[in-house]
Amino acid sequence: MAVGAALGLLTRQVLATLPKPVQIALTVVAAYASYLLADRIGASGLLAVIALSLILGSAYQPTTHHQVHRFWRQLGFAMSSVVFLLVGLQVHLDQVVRVAGRLLLLVAVVMLARALMVTLVTLARSDLWPWSWRAALVWAGLRGALSLALALALPADLAGHDEILALTFGFVFLSLVVQGLSTGPVFRLLGISRQTAVATVH
């Protein structure tokens, strides 16, 4: 993360002197550079990129920030598709079936951990966080390309590599299919809508 933070601070200083199109291009260069540099020295490239993005996130004017956000959102969608494709080529259905028991246990543990975290974070302001909102936060915690990218970044000769990849793929698949497709009905069951959210906030 130190690599990404250092490169983020350096990039932030340079951004102010550049036109908007070059600023967007520089964020791409900085992201790749932080990943490759961190990976070269044996650190986590993904964590370096996350640190970089946290620092650069507030470095833009509102209009430029919107353009950068739109660019990275579109690029992120494309890259997420590539990540899912790569995992799909490496993980076979029979591998996921073999770890089904551990996969269900993993899902249960993660859901319990998320419920505990949501409870602790919202405990101080329980008046602003009704139980229905807390339940919605727990259920809506989807996992996606980042988890898969972390699994893909593991060395191929790591003990249990295939099992980790199968568990990650299965977990993300269940998260997107089960939680993703049921989020709307669950929210309606909890009585949460756009109108109730606005009314609660105000």
Each residue's pLDDT tens digit, 23-69: 778 888 888 888 888 888 888 887 888 888 888 777 666 666 677 77
> How much is the average pLDDT of 73-79?
80
Given this model, what pLDDT does residue 198 score? 46
Q: Distance between CA atoms of 90 and 57, rounded to whole angstroms?
A: 34
Residue 199 pLDDT > 70: no
Residues sharing a CB contact under 8 Å with residue 88, sequence separation 6 or more, in sequence order: 169
Q: Distance between CA atoms of 5 and 10, rounded to whole angstroms?
A: 9
Domain map (residue ranges) of the chain: 2-80, 93-201
Q: Distance between CA atoms of 39 and 74, rounded to whole angstroms?
A: 25
Residue ranges of alpha helices (H) inside 57-130 are 62-90, 93-98, 100-122
Q: pTM of this prediction?
A: 0.66
What's the pLDDT band for 200 if we cut at 50, 70, 90? low
Residues sharing a CB contact under 8 Å with residue 60, sequence separation 6 or more, in sequence order: 15, 23, 68
